[in-house]
Chain A
Amino acid sequence: MSALEIENIRKTYGAIETLKGIDISLDSGEFLVLLGSSGCGKSTLLNIIAGLAEASGGDVRIGGRSVLGVHPKDRDIAMVFQSYALYPNLSVRRNIGFGLEMRGVPTAEREKAVLETAKLLQIENLLDRKPGQLSGGQRQRVAIGRALVRKPQVFLFDEPLSNLDAKLRMEMRTELKRLHQMLGTTIVYVTHDQIEAMTLATRIAVMRNGRIEQLGTPEEVYDHPATLYVAGFVGSPPMNVLDGVATGEGLRLDGSDRLIALPVHFKNAVPSGKRVKIGIRPEALRLVEDDDRQPALKVAVEVVELTGPELVVTGRVGGQRVTACLPPRTKLAVGTTQAFAFDDDALHLFDAETELAFGR
């Protein structure tokens, strides 16, 4: 049985439709990340699941039971807010135990649960402090503890890490992953950070303009982006997208007369003469001696940046910008023209009009 089912959820504010029919079914123990830039409707969707907003149409079922019109407290969910939303006037102990307190759990039992949760999050020494006396990371842990202690069916996270600094964010990310692996809870997690999505999710729903562009495992989303938007959104630096046209012999890049052989699996999918967008991830490019035996781009190198773990090379091929990520010790001179090869598998093709990926 699905832990959470979202069926054709719509949301309109006046004439503006922020959610245009969302369908997701989530098994117990899954970690779903709703990924998208601001305004894509991901937080609205989360609020509808939480019961903080009403859907204009569709249904939400938690554990098989429709929760439309059910008060948030009766939905068997817990939520971690972006702003933490701790109760500043209550101690950490009462913050974590508040949900149990309100549900009339006896004091002894409550104390035990709070302590267990605090141990799990390594904050048992902070229990008597007020939220104002905690650091950002500690507050985040308290907020997570407040959700964990109730052992709900579904956890909702609304950009929980976006208020933390970079180092702490990575730590907490790992921590969340550890907790999920250990507790096997069902989680819906909203973020605009594709790294968080890739690392945490068992499935990612990439959202845009109130629609799901792609729903799949991180590998699927990364290796086989369904649309040009997903291709550009997931991955850093983003995927190179080159304009071109499919011909009988292969792919011809705009502004370049060199042909790229069309990989076998695209042969029947792409009609000849079709305008296409050619996607190649920067990390799929490798520097080769220039020859015609393998598919390669001839790039006029303009900028070379060493980030530490990799060398980011920016250049142009036929007037179109291309980025490549190379091993850090690669010797490369600015102003030269270099050949970058890639595997057939690394080539993504999108319809230039619909921006949908061509099937394989």
Chain B
Amino acid sequence: MERKSVLFFLFIHACALLLAAVILAPLVWLFVMSISPAADLTAKPLRWWPQAVDFSRYGVLLSSVENSAGAAFVASLINSIAVAGMATIAALGLAIPAAWAVSRTPAVGWSLYMVIATYMLPPVALAVPLYFGLSHLGLLNNVFGLALVYLTILAPFTTWLMKSGFDAIPKEIEAAAMMDGAGLFATLRIITLPLAAPVMATSALFAFLLAWDEFFYALLFTSDLRAKTLTVAIADLAGGRVSDYGLIATAGVLAALPPVAIGLIMQRALISGLTSGGVKG
């Protein structure tokens, strides 16, 4: 048993608090901005805490009155969820078999590295060909089109992440299942995929976040409420003659909620890690 002095104990906890403060401060400020009256946000010196709490902007953004800022925001929120959700599910659907195949057949590993090499290209290099491609398919300003574009970003990333997850599952376990008479799909369903659940959850979360935060392609390939996503909608809020910083902050808070919710739901899978004990560790 290690002996620690009280001072050391305090030091460790102070460090942890400092780290938490640094990480959380911007979020707290975002929230404070969203509930501060407009006057407080432009006051000099800056007011760190609002004189009056004002939740009205949440009402504005979530209102369903037609042609209001709220309707536009809600539509973009739904678009974002649809695009990021579809792209994530499709990416996982592609990545699970691809990652497993590459992990178990190192001879075809080069194909994965080829795909990942396209990652090195800056998005702007692909923007024009993608634009023409989408235009040709009639998928411009369309959530499916945008999801398809995001899929090209997410699929290599999730495949690569999950390959390392599958690599960590010993081949002997699958060999044992095979000798026990389990077919390929039974082995995957009963043994491999449950063991890979944590890395699948991690991949899904990161893929969703990547799609959720994407701005460049969304800006290029969407033009109105039918497909515009949150990132573009927030940018629109800042683009008018008068910028309501409070409203932008409110949109930021609302935009952060779905990923946070998904993160909380997946927390169990994320922290559980690989169930140990199948093989000698």
* Chain A interface residues toward B at CB < 8 A: 50-52, 71-73, 77-79, 81-90, 98-99, 102-103, 130-134, 136, 139, 146, 150, 163
Would B279 and A83 count as touching, CB distance under 8 A? yes
A128–B173 Cα distance when bound, in Å, is 20
The 10 closest A-B pairs by CB, nearest first: A132-B277, A88-B278, A85-B172, A102-B181, A83-B279, A99-B180, A131-B277, A85-B176, A73-B181, A88-B275
> Is B220 at the interface (CB under 8 A from chain A)?
no
- Tell me the minimal C-beta distance from A109 to chain B in angstroms: 15
Would A85 and B170 count as touching, CB distance under 8 A? yes
Would B175 and A146 count as touching, CB distance under 8 A? no
Known A87-B191, A98-B182; judge A81-B176 contact (CB<8 A). yes
A72–B172 Cα distance when bound, in Å, is 13
Q: How large is the interface on B (under 10, 10 to 19, 20 to 34, 35 or more residues)?
A: 20 to 34
A-B contact pairs, 27 of them (CB 8 A): A51-B179, A52-B175, A71-B178, A72-B179, A73-B180, A79-B176, A79-B179, A82-B172, A83-B172, A84-B279, A84-B280, A85-B173, A85-B176, A86-B173, A86-B277, A87-B173, A87-B190, A88-B277, A88-B278, A89-B195, A89-B278, A90-B190, A102-B177, A102-B186, A130-B275, A132-B277, A139-B277
A71–B96 Cα distance when bound, in Å, is 25
- Tell me the minimal C-beta distance from A3 to chain B in angstroms: 17
Please give 12 more A-B residue pairs, beta carbons under 8 A apart, in addition to A82-B172, A87-B177, A88-B274.
A50-B175, A73-B179, A73-B180, A79-B176, A83-B170, A99-B180, A102-B186, A131-B277, A132-B275, A132-B276, A139-B280, A146-B176
- Tell me the minimal C-beta distance from A192 to chain B in angstroms: 17
> Is B93 at the interface (CB under 8 A from chain A)?
no
* Chain B interface residues toward A at CB < 8 A: 170, 172-173, 175-182, 186, 190-191, 194-195, 274-280
Interface of A: prevailing SS: loop
A134–B277 Cα distance when bound, in Å, is 8
A166–B170 Cα distance when bound, in Å, is 25
Residues of B within 8 A of A81 (CB): 172, 175-176, 279
Would A136 and B280 count as touching, CB distance under 8 A? yes
